Amino acid sequence: MKLPISDRISTMPVSAVRKLAGYASTAKKQGVKVYHLNIGNPDVKTPQVMIDVLRNWKDNPIEYAPSQGETTFVNALVSYYHELGHSFIKDEDIITTVGGSEAIVMALFTLCNPGDEVLVFEPFYSNYSSLASLVDVRFIAVPTSIETGFHLPSKNEIEKRITNKTKAMLFCTPGNPTGTVYTKKEMDILVQIAQEKNLFLISDEVYREYIFEGAPPHTSILSYMKEYPENTIMLDSLSKRYSLCGARLGVFVSKNPELMKGVLKIAQSRLSSGIIDQAVGAKLTEVSQTYLDEVNAEYQRRRDVIYEGLTSINGVSLAKPEGAFYSMVKLPVSNAEKFCIWLLETYRSKDNATVMLAPGAGFYATQGRGENEVRIAYVLNIEDLKTCVSILKDALEIYPD
């Protein structure tokens, strides 16, 4: 008896962020200290007002939430978007999701039939690819490059990739994995193309609050949504802003009622997202601006440590990140994935430590691009980041490429 699994799963790409997890656990079992720069799992504390929701928990039993989202959480999100200046957002424009990942899946399912195309700007968040493959959507890559800080190419460069199968453009600002913040002018161009070519725009704004010195101010798709309610979509998540990755709190925002009806059907088919997590998330309006300012300042200091540290290593180059907490880094190696595996399997610092990175190729759709790049998530404290820089410097010197 031989029962093969489906082609769609056997050919699905493995998450670039998680694919080396097995090597890391083997190293840890050997007593090696592994510094995780591979995944955006922040070490910053979750706001106490959110932790207190758990500590004061009274509800029993733990019942399903409404499929659209727990009312208190949806209302808190409405207030939050109003405070950001988007007072036209109503509760019916919001569906809460199981992390940002589910919001992406829901968008792709609802906008695209099997085989339809979505324009993405590479490098892009690697799990976009895995999720697109699940829902049978083709990602068409518009290349951006380290030399131009991963900012958008010309309107024409984007438009020439649009076919009659293109349904949407998907982008992330501030960018994972690039740290790039699109300017108002870039956002204008995306909106203009979407209008002219009849496309949906999906804006992933999970890192909205992390904008550093030297970056343009953040321009949200929400500032276009009132004028273009039909084709603008905003995806959000509380994971990164409040260090809540393990609470699965994503948000789907649109003012297109037909679209929201479709998304709600998917939400109903899985009944509910987590009610405990949503009760925690509902406290977002009580998190002080000081908390967000301090976290932003901390990530900016880390950005500086990473940028200065890595650019001082021979052969390493990167664009100075403008926001989020990632950077795509070009390394003087022929194959970054092999180097990442070598770091986990073979390299040990004098303190028996190593660094885990995410291989760059998984963040590109174009074959061959990103092969000597890695994504770094600077989600460790400054001392640890300095140690990581020195480990990388040392490792690159002795790496037998």
Nearer to a copy of itself, 166 or 220 (CB): 166
Nearer to a copy of itself, 30 or 268 (CB): 268
Nearer to a copy of itself, 8 or 184 (CB): 8
- In the bound complex, what is the minimum distance in angstroms from residue 35's beta carbon to a copy of itself? 15
Could you give the CA distance from residue 154 to residue 190 in angstroms, rounded to a whole number? Answer: 10
- In the bound complex, what is the minimum distance in angstroms from residue 330's beta carbon to a copy of itself? 26
- In the bound complex, what is the minimum distance in angstroms from residue 74's beta carbon to a copy of itself? 13
Nearer to a copy of itself, 116 or 322 (CB): 116
CA atoms within 13 A on the CB side of 145: 5
Nearer to a copy of itself, 244 or 333 (CB): 244
**SS3 for the chain, per residue?**
CCCCCCHHHHCCCCCCCCCCHHHHHHHHHCCCEEEECCCCCCCCCCCHHHHHHHHCCCCCCCCCCCCCCCHHHHHHHHHHHHHCCCCCCCHHHEEEECHHHHHHHHHHHHHCCCCCEEEEEECCCHHHHHHHHHCCCEEEEEECCHHHCCCCCCHHHHHCCCCCCEEEEEEECCCCCCCCCCCHHHHHHHHHHHHHHCCEEEEECCCCCCECCCCCCCCCCHHHHCCCCCCEEEEEECCCCCCCCCCCCEEEEECCHHHHHHHHHHHHHCCCCCHHHHHHHHHHHHCCHHHHHHHHHHHHHHHHHHHHHHHCCCCCEECCCCECCEEEEECCCCCHHHHHHHHHHCCCCCCCEEEECEEHHHHCCCCCCCCCEEEEECCCCHHHHHHHHHHHHHHHHHCCC
Nearer to a copy of itself, 98 or 225 (CB): 98
Nearer to a copy of itself, 142 or 263 (CB): 263
- In the bound complex, what is the minimum distance in angstroms from residue 154's beta carbon to a copy of itself? 24
Inter-axis angle of helices 21-29 and 336-345, to 10 degrees? 20
- In the bound complex, what is the minimum distance in angstroms from residue 373's beta carbon to a copy of itself? 20
Nearer to a copy of itself, 131 or 310 (CB): 131
- In the bound complex, what is the minimum distance in angstroms from residue 75's beta carbon to a copy of itself? 15
- In the bound complex, what is the minimum distance in angstroms from residue 348's beta carbon to a copy of itself? 24
- In the bound complex, what is the minimum distance in angstroms from residue 39's beta carbon to a copy of itself? 7
Could you give the CA distance from residue 237 to residue 360 in angstroms, rounded to a whole number? Answer: 24
Residue 13 sits at the vertex; the CA angle it makes with 11 and 19, to the nearest 5 degrees, is 130
Nearer to a copy of itself, 280 or 333 (CB): 280
- In the bound complex, what is the minimum distance in angstroms from residue 191's beta carbon to a copy of itself? 12
